[in-house]
Chains A and B, each alone.
Chain A
Amino acid sequence: MTKKIKLKISARLLKKKFRKKAAGSKKQCRFTNNPAMAADLNYKNIDLLLKFLTERGKILPSRISGNSSKYQRILSCEIKKARIMALLPFCATEY
């Protein structure tokens, strides 16, 4: 005869497990997996840089975009260069 063993898990751990499942898979850096995209990362390529800006023109944190710290550093440099050349706004203004 086999005995059913009931495992006791605390409610806190169960919640944590559920939260991890709900969040989905882990975010991945778009540049490390795609070398062609990383080669295009440039202050002239505005269409790409616009994906990493908020509505107000702020740089998205890597916590949200999922970029690796290496590419986040490069990206922020390129965005700042584009801002100097008036290709991107420093902050959103009412025109």
Chain B
Amino acid sequence: MFRYEVLFLTVPEITKDESEAIRTHFSKVIRAHKGSLISFDRWGKYRLAYPVNHNDYGVYFLARLEVDGENKEALLASIKEIFVFKFNTLIPKHIVARLDATAPLEYKRPASLEDNPQDIDSFLKRNEMEGLIKKGPVRKQPDFKNRTPEVDVVAEYDETEAE
């Protein structure tokens, strides 16, 4: 048996349905070549080292699979087809790497933006500066839907001034 892993980068606006569609199509292709999908992990959102297709952010996915020696090359060719032709608008980059079949499946990955968020409040919490977090009363958001029309009042005022 040959074990492979595919790491692919998607656009940051990817929805749950789209990622699920990629997963189902991916597993369908693997089953057609008598292989098996071991795992399909979503790493999360990352800031990229350089902009890809004018995007500074991206979402990584890691899929691992197993195949026989006979169907190996046909499967790898069809995997390339998925990324390059079918989902080319969603997936700008992918890489296929061979894995050692005897080695354990655990791996280390870099921390994503979802693991340690970059906003101000979480920064203050991480550095034990919680006293600086504003705890005052929450300011009421103006209710735009049910607001009273003020346009009529302005119109009346204009009329009086004209006289």
A residues with a Cβ closer than 8 A to B are: 39-40, 42-48, 81, 83-90, 93, 95
Do A88 and B108 touch across chains, with their CB atoms under 8 A apart? Answer: no
Q: Which of A81, A86, A95 is within 8 Å of B97, CB to CB?
A: A81
Do B97 and A43 touch across chains, with their CB atoms under 8 A apart? Answer: yes
Q: Which residue of B lies closest to A46 (CB)?
A: B110
Q: Is the interface of A mostly helix, strand, loop or mixed?
A: loop
Answer whether A86 and B103 are a contact pair too, CB < 8 Å, given A44-B108, A45-B108, A46-B110: no
Find chain B residues with CB under 8 A from A95 CB.
Answer: 56
Find chain A residues with CB under 8 A from B93 CB.
Answer: 84-86
| 9 tightest Cβ-Cβ pairs between the two chains A and B | A89-B49, A46-B110, A86-B48, A45-B108, A86-B49, A44-B109, A88-B49, A86-B52, A85-B95
Q: Which residue of A lies closest to B109 (CB)?
A: A44
Q: Which residue of A lies closest to B92 (CB)?
A: A86
Do B107 and A42 touch across chains, with their CB atoms under 8 A apart? Answer: yes
List 10 interface pairs A-B (beta carbons < 8 Å), by A numbering.
Answer: A42-B107, A42-B108, A43-B95, A44-B7, A47-B108, A86-B48, A86-B52, A86-B58, A87-B46, A90-B50
